[in-house]
Structure 1
Amino acid sequence: MDYQYPLAADWSTEEIIDAVQFFENVEKAYEQGISREEFMRSYRRFKEIVPGKADEKNLCDEFEEVSGYSSYRAVKKARESEDGEKIKMN
């Protein structure tokens, strides 16, 4: 990885760590797969940090631009999956 995660300057250290964890889990969904539960747990925490849809879209678009990984598609696939399944993006 030779890019930076999109972060907000007003986030606490804990919020930064949790937001980075969500983006890392998006990467895992594309690169090796991740359990639906772990992915959705990190997404729910991300939504606590970034409750607004517009802010979420901006951050996820920034992440996709630098990484090539779509957070939106990963979340959509996770929501369509059942508990116990592994999320693996193509």
Structure 2
Amino acid sequence: MEYQYPISLDWNTEEIIDVIKFFEMVEKAYEKGIERDVLMLSYRRFKEIVPSKSEEKKIGHEFEEISGYSIYRAIKNAKDSSAGAIIKM
């Protein structure tokens, strides 16, 4: 994709890489489909880096503005699905 992901300068290199991987998982859910458990594992790591709900929403809105993909909808779909399901938005 030809856009910049929303990242915080407070994050270290490993955290930035993990957040970008999470964004890529959300993109994959929209474009090809992804295993629920893989997406949720990546989301759990994202929540370790961004524990604040308000910060998660802010980042989610920024990501959706630039990509057109909703973190909220992808994760809601994953939470509503059973283990082993494929998430396809």
With structure 1 as the length reference, what TM-score do the two structures score?
0.98
Q: Calculate percent identity across the aligned residue pairs.
A: 64
- AA paired with 2:85? E
CA drift at 1:59: 0.4
1:27 and 2:61 correspond? no
Structure 2 stretches lacking a partner, 5+ long: none
| Structure 1 stretches of 4+ moved >3 Å | none
Alpha-carbon distance in structure 1 between the residues aligned to 2:57 and 2:84: 27
Match of 1:54 in 2: 54
CA drift at 1:73: 0.1
What do you get for the CA RMSD once the two structures are aligned?
0.3
CA drift at 1:39: 0.1
- AA paired with 1:29? A
Map 1:71-90 to 2 at 5 A: 71-89=71-89
Q: Any idea what SS the aligned residue of 1:5 has? A: coil
CA drift at 1:65: 0.1
Q: How many residues end up aligned between the 2 structures?
A: 89
Alpha-carbon distance in structure 1 between the residues aligned to 2:78 and 2:85: 9
Map 1:38-53 to 2 at 5 A: 38-53=38-53
Map 1:1-40 to 2 at 5 A: 1-40=1-40
Alpha-carbon distance in structure 2 between the residues aligned to 1:22 and 1:71: 9
With structure 2 as the length reference, what TM-score do the two structures score?
0.99
CA drift at 1:51: 0.1
CA drift at 1:5: 0.5
